Amino acid sequence: MKIQSFFDKGTNTMTYIVFDEATKDAVVIDPVYNFDAPSGKLTQESFNLVKDFIKSQSLSLHYILETHVHADHISSSQLLKNEFPNAVTAIHENIKIVQEVFAPVFNMGETCPCDGSQFDKLLADKDILNAGSLEIKILSTPGHTPACVSFLIGDAIFTGDAVFMPDMGTGRCDFPKGDAEQLYDSLMKIYELPEDTRVFVGHDYGPGGREIAWETTIKEQRQSNIQLKAGTSKEDFVTFRKNRDAQLNAPKLLLPSIQVNMKAGNLPDEDSNGTRYIKIPLSF
């Protein structure tokens, strides 16, 4: 098994291609569609890197996996789907909860059925996906959002925004239906994996000016995570997380990202003038 990592500087997002070098079977985790909010311009730099790598290695893409409904970047899953039609888009079945919360916010009505049908496959805890020679174990890891899921492939787990590098800590839990107690339980479940299990995170911001990093281990997380070590009590973690989250601003691309990503990366339909529009609800 090989892992190819891609870092999107604009959103500090990690995208991963996991593949078998011998059989060419592959999956993509958390692909990015570049979006410039001030101009509304969508570009494909990050997508092209992923697409070109898949083609250069003659890989067979089985799945496009989302760790959750991202609030900080737009997914390029549909671009990948168009390029590789046999690939299956997949997310945790609690996507339905996310849709039920946010579809009314954007007044989507019938344009967004809250049943997860926009995705090809809905995942549940302990499911196993077979992508050719790759076996992917599904671990439900809610807390950051109710639909968060981690993917265990061989000796590597891809955690999305549940946990970051040890010096960054854990994901925020203040989004609707987020829950710090759930996140604690989710991470304790992850911490039970063998200590040499490699952990690949969803974002990195290089705290303190260090170089961007995305790979750590269960042992390092248990010993060194600044917000949740193996011995941290649930009460202490929940208290910290709630206090910390109360000080955080909303992600810059929250509103554009949510309304696209909860529909499996499908952009809004064209209006009568042939232009697509993102809705920005106003609050006073």
Block mean pLDDT (10 aa), the chain, length 284:
97 98 98 96 98 98 98 98 98 98 94 96 98 98 98 98 98 97 98 98 96 98 98 98 97 96 96 95 90
Specify the amino acid at residue 262.
M
What values do phi and psi take at 238, rounded to 5?
A: -60, -40
Identify the pLDDT of residue 161.
Answer: 98
Q: Enter the tokens of residue 155.
A: 């000796």
For the CA atoms of the chain, what is the radius of gyration? 18
Q: CA nearest 68: which of 197, 189, 201, 168?
A: 201
Residues for the chain: how many in total?
Answer: 284
Q: Count CB-CB contacts under 10 A for residue 218.
A: 19
> How far is 216 from 10, CA to CA, in rounded Å?
22
Domains of the chain in start order, with CATH, are 2-261 (3.60.15.10)
Helix 180-191, helix 234-245: angle, nearest 10: 130
pLDDT at residue number 228:
98
Instruction: Of 135, 142, 225, give the one whose Cα is nearest residue 184.
Output: 142
Q: How far apart are CA 106 and CA 97, in angstroms?
A: 15
